[in-house]
Structure 1
Amino acid sequence: MPEIKDSNSGIDPEDSKAGMSVPEDSDSADAKAVPDAVTSPAASTLPEGAPEPIAAKKAEPAKVTKAETAAATKAEKKAAKVTKAEAAAATKAEKGASSPGRDTAKGQRRAKRTVRRRWPVVLAGTATLALAAVAVGAGTVFPGADATSVTSPIPHMLPVGEAMANCQGPTQLLAGSSAGTDPEFSANSSSTKSTVNAVVLSGTAGSLPGAAVEALDGKSSPLFTVSQPPSEPAPTSTELNGKPKMRAVVARDKSTGASSVLRIQPLGEEIPRGAGSVVVNSDDGDLAGLSAATCQTPSNELWLSGASTSVGRTAILAISNSSKSAATVSLDLYGSNGLVQTAAGKGLVVAAGAERSVVLSGLAPDQDLLSVHLKSSGGAVSAVIQESVLRGLTPGGVDYLAPVQAPSSTLTIPGVRVQAPDAAAKISGQSGYQDATTVLAVTVPGVGDSVVEVKAYGAKGQVALPNGGVFTATAGQVNELSLAGLPEGTYSLSVAADTAVTATARIVNSTKAGEATDLAYAPSTGRLGDTHLLTLPADVTSSLVFVAPEGTSTVSVVPISADGILGAAKTIEVEVGVTTTVNAADLLGSGAVSALVSVSGAPTYGSQLLTKSGSAGIAVLPISGTSTGTQAINITTGY
């Protein structure tokens, strides 16, 4: 705070209190009656026996009255907001430090009170949530501040807690013509194999958190333990001896018969980190094909795009609630011809620790393309759509539709596998196979149409699309762009629109005409950063797909072995506008069962493309954020 000085004499007020003389003002009528608190005792004399002048009594060291004390206390409790009037009074009090009599005493009292007011009392504290707040006072204190303005939402981190990731159960076959919100299911084919894979990372000192997988059956029945909690508290610091401390624990190919949740306990003050995936493979039956889904961190809002409820297509929405509170879910449905009005999709209750299935054809029948906007209150949930196709008696594939990125004007979809045009044409040319093509589904949730530009990036750079990849997407519905003309290869799609949209790519794969086909869905994904964990399932071929549409980047991939050892990092250089695809086993070695991915440089997006040798089986796992025990909430502050 700037030092306060007398404006007439240049003497610090503290010095005047020490008895230093102040020059008399010749123009003042009371110049001779200088108070003792300001002049030296010898400055004036009184006749013997004369009464003490009134001015001298009032000039005694400023005594604060009870009223003044109460006023000052009240001012302090109001956070000492200094107004322009108070600032002017303070200035006048300082200037009056050399004035005699009553004005001097009042000036000192005002200055004293003003100095007290300039120091606001700051109070902060909470047991569970630390928030940063800015106190905005008058413009004289914080020039340019607007006390009535509202700031943008700021993420505030909640304390470290348990990490959860919901894992989808095996594919399910509807019993008869079941439809609606509580369907019945038939037994799966005997060849169906459903496995859960999980990886949990240690703390920086090498301690592993407790982790286990439980069934979402309403009773939290334990399925298997990933790691036991440490017997001693996790150390708060690490020894810097040059030896790596971090390790992991991996659970691979664990058979489960139901949806489940991976729970990871907090590790001291460190954030627990883990990831999981579900892979379902069936060689025969109506649900023949390869399906896969990553285990999801629960959320209160999700978008799922690109399903179908037309004849021969079955879409089952599975909603999982691993929290301790019931969730009430509402669905907004966008079809091929606009928003689908239905009351049956509102107020769906999902019990704590349980799963609920909804057959979407009961809510929105005969939709060639269908997208779902899910919102929940109460418990946070995860959701996938099991999409399957049956053409007559021939299975047409099955897969899980994972949540996509929330509506945005720019989206990226990595990992879109395209068959050779000739082979694809033979498949789609068969009777009933008209939709057996690779397409991009774009949903426009707003009220205005959107001009969309799509760019396809292959192994050698951008590849031209019909009409330059530009089309107009109709508002309130799901729109389709065919990708059948692309040469064979693995692509990434960049979507730019003049309004917010969602996007998913539907992939169709086959071996030859007349044989069964399989389908997969590649969702739009978020930008990659540090510490993305992924699993490498057995019995399938895993390829890592990366793209950086706007610049170059470097991807670091650390292999994790079955015994949890972190190996030497492998580096992948990603060129601008090029889709880079690498075989995981070739890059990391056959002993790697999991991996840790980090990216530096330009915004980069990635996915894991799964294929099964000797079949049409195909699936895409997005490389998403690692499940952690910390969550963020947005808080908007204002006056």
Structure 2
Amino acid sequence: MKRTTVSLIAGVAALAALTGFASVSVPDASGAEPAGAAATLPVERTSLVCPAPSTSDLAETTYSAFTPVTEGTDDGGRADLLPATGTPEEGEKAGEAVKSALPQKEPGTPVTADESGADAPALTGIAEGRFAPGWTVQQTTEVTAGTGRGLQGLSCVAPDTDFWFPGASTATDRTDYIHLTNAEDSAAVVDIELYGKDGALESEVGSDITVKPHASEPILLSTLTDAEESDLTVRVNVRSGRVGAAVQALDDKLGGDWLTASADPADTLVLPGIPQDATDVRLIAYSPGDTDADLTLRLAGPSGLITPVGHETLHVKAGMTTAVDLADVTKGEPGSLVLTPSGGSVPVVAALRVIRGEGDDQETSFIPAARAVDTRATAVGNTEKGTTLALTAPTTTTKVKVTASAGTEGGESVSKTYTIKSGTTQSVELPVPEGLKGTYALTVEPTSGGPLYASRTLEAAQDDVPAFTTQVLPDDRGRVAVPTAEQNLSVLQE
């Protein structure tokens, strides 16, 4: 058998191993029959990483894990979260407590575990088989005092090789860490690039950072540069291996939260789910190419798209971070910011810093540009009160099915369908599981229409501080298209 045939079969086998069974059809002897359409199959393995939640002794962290029920999966599988201790062997040994705290017995029912204080480790996780499609892990941390006090939430991230974080800072009142977590069996090599208002910042220690296997490295951004920048874009470029990356942004007076990566650079971006009572909204944008970007700003509210007065457009210089204060742009209604090109098509990344409250009782969260929900998205760790789901249909009216799972301690799943009109954002009245006990998961599934964007906000009572955290809900990528392979004897011909 010649190498071309071997490569074809090996490639199909490798793809099948990751996504499920891939069939190979046998055409007639002519080999002229066209290949069939790609099959959409559940993924068979999902990897997530959760950075260490806090260095505060006052931190109270809840981990929540959930896998939606997905048709087409086998009966077997598992989902494990292990401490990122530095080696696979140590992780397996130390991970017994974590595994016993989050025993996912069946898809469709969430589980939780609690940690107190500053010693909760970073976690690396693998879900296989029926637990892999749409596996979601949330860590939510409440800190009652000190830098970053408030509610900090993160949907644990998938390892990748390139991340953009507009919205970070090295200002004196901010303490921002970039957390790099390696779930692989080999070391990763990472470059961290910083871009301020005047362009790239010099850094002698941001290159060739080694992250050991099954380990996590929190790096204080202010140690990478002497510059004090209020608005900074951070790029994490992984030159070898893969890591999960997230920025923990902590303010001395304004609370703090996790800043997750912006959607990939694009000329059109949607930043969904600005709370209706936001008192200050700041947009941070960056153009990674060689061309300036000119953007049109519009707010998608409950009744349609409007242009914020005084903020109709934004000019973003190439290679420089640009920030603009939008103040209380939502004016008492929930909304989402939609960025579109007003000139040529130039890719950008962007995020919002959102503040609620007044005076000494302010709290911060971040909303990065989101990926659209193509098939399904999941948010876990929801409570009966204090949970808001924002759905945005920027271009086309879209119907959406939202399902509330059973609770962690009891309750029956329930679903509800919504119509989101074109150009609007709706904070929908959530379905709550019947007989709910504990927390529950939400799955969001577009059933017709155009692009859909979503975010979930959690709130907590903390004296007079309006503690909150917002997570955008990208597609869970629980299914993947697998091309149908077939025999073609022409590849054997010289």
TM-score tier after normalising by the smaller chain length: 0.7 to 0.9
Measure the CA separation in 1 of the matches of 2:66 and 2:356.
30
Partner of 1:199: 66
The TM-score normalised by the length of structure 2 is: 0.81
Partner of 1:504: 351
Match of 1:129 among 6, 11, 14: 14
Partner of 2:210: 349
Which runs of structure 2 are paired with 1:263-412 in the superposition (5 Å)? Answer: 263-267=126-130, 272-364=133-225, 365-390=227-252, 395-412=253-270
Match of 2:316 among 468, 473, 498: 473
CA contact (8 A) 2:64 2:139 kept: yes
Q: The residue matched to 1:296 in structure 2 has which SS?
A: coil
Measure the CA separation in 2 of the matches of 1:315 and 1:158.
40
Higher RCO, 1 vs 2 (CA within 8 Å, ≥6 residues apart): 2
Measure the CA separation in 2 of the matches of 1:543 and 1:78.
55
- 2:110 corresponds to 1:250: yes
Moved more, 395-404 or 577-586: 577-586
The one-letter amino acid of 2:114's match is K
Match of 2:51 among 150, 165, 168: 168
Measure the CA separation in 2 of the matches of 1:78 and 1:473.
50
CA contact (8 A) 1:415 1:545 kept: yes
Match of 1:567 among 413, 419, 431: 413
Higher Rg of the two aligned structures: 1
Change in CA separation of 1:539 and 1:531 when aligned onto 2, cut-off 3 Å: closer
Change in CA separation of 1:311 and 1:130 when aligned onto 2, cut-off 3 Å: closer
The one-letter amino acid of 2:398's match is S
CA contact (8 A) 2:411 2:435 kept: no
CA contact (8 A) 1:540 1:612 kept: no
CA contact (8 A) 2:406 2:433 kept: no
Give how far 1:571 is off. Answer: 0.6
Change in CA separation of 1:294 and 1:631 when aligned onto 2, cut-off 3 Å: farther
Partner of 1:611: 459
The TM-score normalised by the length of structure 1 is: 0.63
Q: The residue matched to 1:503 in structure 2 has which SS?
A: strand
Measure the CA separation in 2 of the matches of 1:321 and 1:474.
33
Deviations, residues 292-333 of structure 1 (Å, cap 9, x unaligned): 110111111111111111121111111111111110001221
Unaligned 5+ runs, structure 2? 17-21, 23-31, 33-37, 483-494
Change in CA separation of 1:529 and 1:470 when aligned onto 2, cut-off 3 Å: same
Root-mean-square deviation (CA, aligned residues, Å) is 3.4
| Total equivalences in the alignment | 442
Higher helix proportion (structure 1 or 2): 1
The one-letter amino acid of 2:68's match is L
The one-letter amino acid of 1:359's match is L
Higher strand proportion (structure 1 or 2): 2
Give how far 1:193 is off. Answer: 0.5
Partner of 2:339: 495
Change in CA separation of 1:156 and 1:330 when aligned onto 2, cut-off 3 Å: farther
CA contact (8 A) 1:209 1:227 kept: no
Partner of 2:427: 581
Instruction: Name the % identity.
Output: 21
CA contact (8 A) 2:287 2:321 kept: yes
Match of 1:602 among 450, 455, 467: 450
Measure the CA separation in 2 of the matches of 1:156 and 1:261.
30
Change in CA separation of 1:483 and 1:538 when aligned onto 2, cut-off 3 Å: same
Deviations, residues 167-191 of structure 1 (Å, cap 9, x unaligned): 232223xxxxxxxxxxxxxxx233x
Give how far 1:529 is off. Answer: 2.2
- 2:294 corresponds to 1:442: no
Q: The residue matched to 1:224 in structure 2 has which SS?
A: helix
Unaligned 5+ runs, structure 1? 1-76, 80-120, 133-141, 143-154, 173-187, 230-245, 425-436, 633-639
The one-letter amino acid of 2:64's match is N
Measure the CA separation in 1 of the matches of 2:315 and 2:375.
36
Measure the CA separation in 2 of the matches of 1:370 and 1:380.
23
Partner of 1:49: none
CA contact (8 A) 2:281 2:328 kept: no
Partner of 2:300: 457
